[in-house]
Chain A
């Protein structure tokens, strides 16, 4: 067995699912009295730090995404919050919630919430949306200014073109009227025509540049079949670096549910990294499929399992398929 050489920091990372090799820690947590007690103490302190709003950065992120994934652990957090409110009321006897906790206004302290998940803090979503909106406004502003400049250039080129065309007509009239084979005038006419051709080309180029460019996201798609006992080869999906979205087409073997839910797990730790909202089946030739769209950043270069559950009209949930695949990234 291990020699109890794990620091509180390492134990915290273990509790937050940030340790890849957990065998030794798992063994100690059950088989070693001293370590098990220490683990419990670190976990209690971690939960208390969370309800006091003392966690930040990656630790807070992992607490929200990993630690709170379990109903049992969410109940522990609720109890810790209640314990804090009772044992440490503010002066005057009223409960005071720290800003970090109060910001998570979507916590439900109802009885059913002890068996329910917490909402991701709205603040993170709002900041993300605000950043996206700002980016769109800046990009839109730049495009508008650029468009205006190009339009100005096109107008200027058109005016120049009109002037030169008029001048051409005048010279032709002069030549016709004088019936002269003046070499200089002929040269001038040729020069004018060259310039007209260049300006016409420039006007065409400017018009082409004014066409809206579309920013097409880079999407990679893969089709997956549910894992079968006889399947020996696990499909591999290669995700390019510049991919913006990964779309997985999950083939349905049977069943016709009103909706579906998908859950992405990273192996071998069986760690849940993503869950879907309600999904609908769609036709895929002679069969049906469920389409899942993921961000490449969610998926590491590991083996993954995508568990698909069907939801009937009366809300009953049943597992319908498990899709195993290996991800590679350049």
Chain B
């Protein structure tokens, strides 16, 4: 009994995402429509934000771990019945989060392994010199590069959607939605998607 338990645990650790399992995961997330991987990317984004809101130190890794486990379970069982794919992903994410907490409390997560980040400077620690001007220029450059990389329609939409303050902003959005012939809700969703792509583009640009 003990040996089979150990073997199962070792099998789980050794499991790797195969092309078939990857394709199966994408198809399962798409639920019949071909989103060209957009559904997977959207699910990954939601999971990263979920783990980030829970103040996890490695939200990207935990999101990938979650999707890996979902893919493994699909490969082993063929399907996951009951709730929607998104809900199943959430259930797995919750397990992953609680495991992460337990690992943290039992000191299995070494801070040395984590990405470099600084603690909030409520009480400043250290005195690293930062080149403000260089960083600001790089960020501005990446912002401009990514903005100009947007299609014209998307650029117009996002520049008008986020313009103005408070009531002026709300009025701008109403007028924009009316001009495009869509609801405020649909406009908001479109603007958020464009902004997400913008933020991802900026992150890639700064890393590159």
Contact = CB atoms under 8 A, between A and B. Distances in A.
A69 B120 contact: yes
B99 interface: no
Contact of B93 (A30, A85, A307): A30
B49 A29 contact: yes
Contact of B130 (A27, A87, A112, A278): A112
Given A29-B50, A270-B55, A119 B124 contact: yes
A79 B112 contact: no
A284 B165 CA distance: 57
Interface stretch (A209-217, A239-247, A314-322): A314-322
A135 to B, nearest CB: 23
A328 to B, nearest CB: 22
B65 interface: no
Interface stretch (B16-24, B72-80, B102-110): B102-110
A15 B123 CA distance: 24
Nearest to B48: A72
B18 to A, nearest CB: 25
Interface in B115-129: 115-126, 128
Given A44-B192, A44-B195, A111 B55 contact: no
Q: Which 6 A-B pairs have the closest CB atoms?
A: A110-B135, A277-B123, A117-B120, A111-B135, A109-B136, A30-B90
Given A30-B89, A83-B143, 14 more contacts: A30-B43, A37-B192, A41-B192, A48-B162, A70-B55, A72-B59, A83-B162, A86-B143, A87-B158, A108-B132, A110-B133, A112-B130, A116-B130, A229-B106
9 contacts: A40-B192, A44-B191, A52-B165, A70-B55, A82-B143, A108-B135, A111-B138, A113-B130, A276-B123
A56 to B, nearest CB: 13
Interface residues of A, number: 73
Contacts of B116: 115
Interface SS majority for chain B = helix
Contacts of A248: none
Interface string A297-330: 0000000010101000001111111101000000
Interface in A81-125: 82-88, 108-120
B34 interface: no
A318 B112 contact: yes
Given A30-B86, A30-B89, A75-B203, A316 B112 contact: yes
B105 A227 contact: yes
B111 A309 contact: yes
A10 interface: no
A136 to B, nearest CB: 23
B176 interface: no
A71 interface: yes
Interface of B: 43, 46-50, 52-55, 59, 83-84, 86-87, 89-90, 93-94, 101, 104-107, 109-112, 115-126, 128, 130-136, 138-140, 143-144, 147, 158-159, 162-163, 165-166, 188-189, 191-192, 195-196, 198-199, 202-203, 206
A31 interface: yes
A301 B111 CA distance: 29
B125 A82 contact: no
B136 A322 contact: no
Contacts of A271: 55
Nearest to A98: B165
Given A87-B163, A112-B128, A322-B107, A78 B121 contact: no
Contact of B159 (A48, A87, A115): A87
B89 A109 contact: no
A294 B101 CA distance: 24
B125 A278 contact: yes
A318 B55 CA distance: 18
B72 to A, nearest CB: 19
A229 B133 CA distance: 49
Contact of B87 (A27, A38, A269): A27
Contact of B143 (A79, A315, A317): A79
B199 A76 contact: yes
Contact of A87 (B43, B110, B162): B162
A117 B118 contact: yes
Contacts of B109: 319
Contacts of A86: 140, 143-144, 147
A70 B52 CA distance: 7
A319 B147 contact: no
A88 B130 contact: no
Contacts of A27: 87, 90
